[in-house]
Amino acid sequence: MNAKFRLLILCVCILAMMTMNCECVYCTFCPDCSYCEGEDVPQEDENPNEGGEIDPNPDGNDYVLKFDGSDDVVQIKEQDMGLNSMVAGLTVEAWVYARSINTGDLVTVLDRTELPIGQNRYMLGFGKEGSTATFQVNGSTVNASGIITAGRWLHLAGVFDGYQLHVYVNGILGNTVQMSITGPFTIAESPIYIGANPNAPGEEFRGYIDEIRVWKARRSAAQIQQLMNVQLTGGEDNLIAYWRIDSGGGQTLTDYAGENDGELGTTDAVDTSDPEWVQIDFPH
Ligand SMILES: [Ca+2]
Ligand SMILES: [Ca+2]
Ligand SMILES: [Ca+2]
């Protein structure tokens, strides 16, 4: 191909990019502009684990919190969760939208643990493979068999019944495991962290979180499905913490079930660890 012909092709390509609003990176140097004409344009940066932003809805009826995956966190400091002495049954739920998912480490949605981290912990999030919902209680872990992908809303629920752990995704049972240590377990007063655990670097969540609930009882699949798409009053039996995430501003995450208000970031003032309020619709 001679130089003049290359120049002609280049000009045609540039003109095509301008008139077709084509973002095809191949056009600039490639003599074949057919990439521009279809929808199957190769995307060099495409990553199935990248979900992007959600579209904020200024007319939405709810808010969520957006975590940056770096240091954003909500802390619920050491208070009476009704769980401090003994945990005989537990259900933790949340709506989550991951913008991307780490691989190789856990991802925190909600984590309550004494230090050093080990037993006497419960944690809901994503597994080390980065593609599963996970629930950990007292040294045991259940990973959902299904794959988690970024870029969509998912309802996660972890259930502990004293003998087994269950994890649900969108109200569907993802897996069950036998506990390595059965029966009730104790947990001393310790903070709850949402979106990241400052004591566990690398487990930060990147995306949006909403409607977090902690129940001091096992919830069945039918019970989870019945209430996952509706807001609660906070007065439901056995509901001991309920963060609707609906105030739309400020430093406080209000608990509608108890007295376990959370605080955005690492201080009660605006700081770089504050997640961001985003207005959307609920149900998602
Ligand atoms: Ca909300
Ligand atoms: Ca703050
Ligand atoms: Ca930050």
How far is ligand 1, taken at its centre, from the CA of residue 244, in Å? 5
Q: Is the pLDDT of residue 107 over 50?
A: yes
- Supply the mean pLDDT for the chain: 84
At 206-226, the pLDDT tens digits run: 999 999 999 999 999 999 999
- Spatial neighbors of 267 by CB under 8 A, at least 6 apart, are none
Residue 206: both structure tokens together: 């990147």
Question: 240: helix, coil or strand?
Answer: strand
Distance 196 CA to ligand 1 centre (A): 18
Residue-wise pLDDT tens digits, 167-186: 999 999 999 999 988 888 88
Ligand 3: centre distance to CA 268 (Å): 15
8 Å CB contact between 135 and 165: yes
Strand partners, 137: 122, 140
Rounded CA separation 153/119 (Å):
30
Q: What is the predicted pLDDT for the residue at 24?
A: 37
| pLDDT on residue 87 | 82
Ligand 1 centroid to 3 CA: how many Å? 60
Q: Is the per-residue pLDDT at 113 higher than 90?
A: no
Identify the pLDDT of residue 84.
64
Token pair for 38: 């279809």
232 Cα: distance to centroid of ligand 2 (angstroms): 26
Answer whether 0.75 is exceeded by the pTM. yes
What percentage of the chain's residues is helix, strand, coil (to nearest 5)? Answer: 10, 35, 55
